[in-house]
Amino acid sequence: MPQIDKDNVLEILGKRIPAGKSATINFNMAKLYTTTSVEVPVIIERAKKPGPVVLLTAGIHGDEINGVEIVRQIISKGINKPQKGTIICIPVVNIFGFLTLTREFPDGRDLNRVFPGTKHGSLASRFAFQFVKKILPIADFCMDFHTGGASRFNAPQIRIKKGNEESLKYAHIFNAPFTINSKTITKSYRETCAKLGIPVLLFEGGKSANSNKEIARHGVDGATRILSHLDMLKPRFDYPDAITETVIIENTFWMRAKYSGLLHVKIPCGKHVEKGEFIATITDPYGKFRHKIKAANEGYIINVNESPIVYQGDAVFHISLPKRSNEEEISESEI
């Protein structure tokens, strides 16, 4: 188990890192078919002054590049060098998937559905088990960065469990454009953090296999606000205050394609729309058919399917619902 001893020395992954020192440790617990080791760099920065341990992770899904870019920028700019405490950055948790731009581990499993893992299970499960045993327990606060799956583009958002006041407080500090009530998925990293009593913010923004400057900016700015709140940010760093407060979304609805065909989106993700507003068309390839998609209700468009072709029943828009509507908390597994 990782720990910080009485002399303020961090013991993690078999290494001892004194206060005020930096280290990059390769977390190595699996090999390719060729017996080549696959190493996950764990980048650790420690201040001389004691303080919290913050863990920043991205790339749990190997094709989610925006999250990787957010943590990369935090490291590149030196934001991860705290004035007190410890910041641990893992820009790419799923190195396997990152190498091939795929969501899953080589065993076909979604790493974010096998936490906390098992010692003698599948490759993904074994990795999760070692991560939970050897890295996660040292953390006092976690931020995990994701994107929308496949061609679904997420507006920049923090997801929290409904009724968790501590998470809501931190979501306001992070201040992404949207904060969304989100079911905690069974065997996810977020659920494991919650069971260990570690506060965690899950950031979503953009789509898979894509890098977006605006999404990265929101992620970096939000993480910087959190570090400032924890008194870990060095004075030389400045970040713009958010122009508006995060929009809290309690209920959501998936609009699905009524027809198969070519999808032509007419609005940007994140837009507030009125009921009946024209937001997209579906056409056939031959110029004979054209169907207008209109907003099912007033609300914010928090996810847009940017695939050029859709099938009947595909999720096309994720839209917020008024508070008086029946609750439908967002769940990745439902789309």
Arithmetic mean of pLDDT, 25-37: 84
DSSP bridge pairs for 11? 3, 16
Binned at pLDDT 50, 70 and 90, residue 31 comes out as: confident
For residues 284 and 290, what is the distance between their CA atoms, to the nearest angstrom?
7
For the cut 90, the answer to whether the pLDDT of residue 206 exceeds it is yes
Please answer whether residues 273 and 321 qualify as being in contact, where contact means their C-beta atoms are separated by less than 8 angstroms: no
* Percent of the chain topping pLDDT 90: 90
On the question of pLDDT at 261 being above 70, the answer is yes
Instruction: Supply the pLDDT for residue 297.
Output: 97
pLDDT (0 to 100) of residue 33 = 81
pLDDT at 333: 45
N- to C-terminal Cα distance for the chain?
37
pLDDT of 331 > 70? The answer is no
b vs e for 227-261, b when ≥16 Cβ sit within 10 Å of the residue's Cβ? bbebebbeeeeebeeeeeebbebbbbbbbbbeeeb
pLDDT for res 330 = 55
Residue 328 pLDDT > 90, yes or no?
A: no
Q: CB within 8 A of 121, min separation 6: which ones?
A: 114, 129
Q: Which residues pair with 31 in a beta bridge?
A: 37
Let me know if 268 is exposed, middle or buried by CB neighbors in 10 A (0-12, 13-18, 19+).
exposed
The full set of domain ranges for the chain reads 3-229, 251-334
Angle at 250 between CA 249 and CA 252, to 5 degrees: 85
Average the pLDDT over 306-323 and give the result.
96
Distance, CA of 335 to CA of 331 (rounded, Å):
8
Q: Is the pLDDT of residue 279 over 60?
A: yes
Is pLDDT of 335 > 50? Answer: no
Sign of the alpha-carbon torsion through 121, 125, 130, 136: negative
Burial class (CB in 10 A: 0-12, 13-18, 19+), 172: middle
What's the pLDDT score for residue 239? 75
For residue 325, what pLDDT is reported?
A: 46
Establish whether domains 3-229 and 251-334 are of one fold.
no
Per-residue pLDDT, averaged over 134-152, amounts to 97
The predicted model gives 285-305 an average pLDDT of: 98
Q: What is the mean pLDDT of the chain?
A: 94
Beta strands per DSSP E along the chain: 3-4, 10-12, 15-17, 22-31, 37-46, 53-58, 86-90, 141-148, 152-160, 178-181, 200-207, 247-249, 251-256, 261-265, 272-273, 278-283, 290-294, 299-305, 309-310, 315-321
CATH topology of domain 3-229: Aminopeptidase (3.40.630)
pLDDT given for residue 323 in this prediction: 75
CB-CB contact of 229 with 166 (8 Å) = no
- Tokens describing residue 7: 């002399």
Helices 165-174 + 213-229 axis angle, to 10? 120
pLDDT value for 284: 98
Strand, coil or helix: 228? helix
Q: How far is CA 136 from CA 200, 276, 283, in A?
A: 11, 47, 49
Q: Where are the alpha helices (DSSP H) in 1-64?
A: none
Q: Which of 35-44, 72-81, 251-260 has the lowest mean pLDDT?
A: 35-44
pTM attached to this predicted model: 0.94
Which residues have CB under 8 Å from 50's CB, separation 6+? 4, 8, 19, 84, 85
* Residue among 126, 101, 105, 102 nearest 115 (CA): 126
For 251-334, CATH gives 2.40.50.100
Assess whether pLDDT exceeds 70 at residue 36.
Answer: yes
Bridge partners (DSSP) listed for residue 203: 145, 158
Per residue in 48-68, pLDDT tens? 999 999 999 999 999 999 999
